[in-house]
Amino acid sequence: MDFYRSTDHHRVQEGLEESLKKLDCEYIDLYLMHWPQAVLNDKVLCEDEHPTYADTWKQMEKLLDTGKVKSIGVSNFSIKTLEILLPQCTIIPAINQVEIHPCLPQFDLKEYCDSKGILLTAYSPFGQSNQLFFKDPDFIAIAECHEATVAQVAVSWAVQRGTVPIPKSANVERMKANITLIKLTPEEMQTINDIHKKPGMHRSLLGYHGPDGSVFGWTYEQLGWPMSVGGFVSAQ
Ligand SMILES: NC(=O)c1ccc[n+]([C@@H]2O[C@H](COP(=O)([O-])OP(=O)(O)OC[C@H]3O[C@@H](n4cnc5c(N)ncnc54)[C@H](OP(=O)(O)O)[C@@H]3O)[C@@H](O)[C@H]2O)c1
């Protein structure tokens, strides 16, 4: 699929074949629908225009029979969009991959996905290049206490709360360090859980938010994201 724009929602089988060719693989372990909004003829479709994300999901379900895909999941889905999708599913998504880090812990979504048996993958677990919580004194104190890096604290927190963080680094030493976990105490977990409650801290850290409060053509309301213009969310 196109990196940001979901241009293959109406041609799922063909999209998979193209991906397999590019990857030079016979099968893919986990195949995700990147965004709920489909792009057709250069136009972002509304929720009720076909293919809807439920239409696309039904095509993804068929891929499992081919053996070319071992499991399927979604990305950037909210409680709202999952509530619409799940009653139309034969197969429950294995994964929902969303932005999660201490500034956007997504407690409500985590509880919802847990109740449905959907594993949450935490993308941008460091906030990409906007690593706001890395500068938080409580966060730094926990890292110092464990003689660890702030990045290791972020990954350890994510794993310990039952999400799957996928940090990115182009630096081999950082890659090795980032997957070396530490054991956080319940008090430290709580301290990190509470960081988003500090003024100005509860927010998305990514740059894909339009000034009008839209992301790739859909409003926060269409996406079901509990945000307001500027990407801020109210404290949970
Ligand atoms: N499904 C989606 O819509 C979606 C959206 C966004 C991202 N993602 C995925 O999420 C994964 C990671 O997310 P991301 O790249 O957006 O953000 P990220 O992992 O939060 O941050 C990556 C940035 O952190 C830096 N970094 C890595 N290790 C560090 C360390 N120990 N200390 C300080 N900085 C460190 C990296 O720099 P160096 O490379 O120089 O180390 C890079 O600039 C990727 O696989 C991406 O494809 C998915």
Q: Is 10 annotated as a binding residue?
A: no
* Residue range 169-187, pLDDT digits in tens: 999 999 999 999 999 999 9
Residue 122 Cα to ligand 1 midpoint, Å, equals 11
DSSP H helices in 118-213: 137-145, 150-160, 172-178, 186-194
Buried b (16+ CB within 10 A) or exposed e, 49-58: eebbbbbbbb
Ligand 1 atom nearest 97 alpha carbon: 1
46 or 229, higher pLDDT:
46
Q: Report the share of the chain in percent with pLDDT over 70.
A: 96
- The sign of the CA dihedral 4, 214, 114, 134 is positive
User: Which residue minimizes the CA distance to atom 36 of ligand 1?
Assistant: 169
What pLDDT is stored for residue 62 in this prediction? 98
- pLDDT at residue 1, as a whole number: 39
pLDDT of residue 230: 65
pLDDT tens digit sequence for 98-118? 999 999 999 999 999 999 999
Contact status, residue 81 vs residue 93, Cβ threshold 8 Å:
no
pLDDT of residue 26: 98
Residue 146, pLDDT above cutoff 90: yes
User: What is d(CA 120, CA 71) in angstroms, rounded to the nearest whole number?
Assistant: 14
What residues does ligand 1 touch, defined as CB less than 6 Å away?
34, 75-76, 97, 123-129, 149, 151, 166-171, 174, 177-178
The rounded distance, in Å, linking the Cα atoms of 85 and 88 is 5
Measure the CA–CA gap between 166 and 158, rounded to whole angstroms. Answer: 10
H or E segment at 165?
A: strand 164-165
- Per-residue pLDDT tens digits for 3-42: 456 899 999 999 999 999 999 999 999 999 999 999 999 9
Both tokens assigned to 59: 């095509």
Which residue's CA is minimally distant from atom 16 of ligand 1?
Answer: 124
The residues, any chain, with a CB within 8 Å of residue 74's CB and separated by 6 or more, are: 32, 33, 36, 53, 57, 82, 85, 93, 95, 96, 97
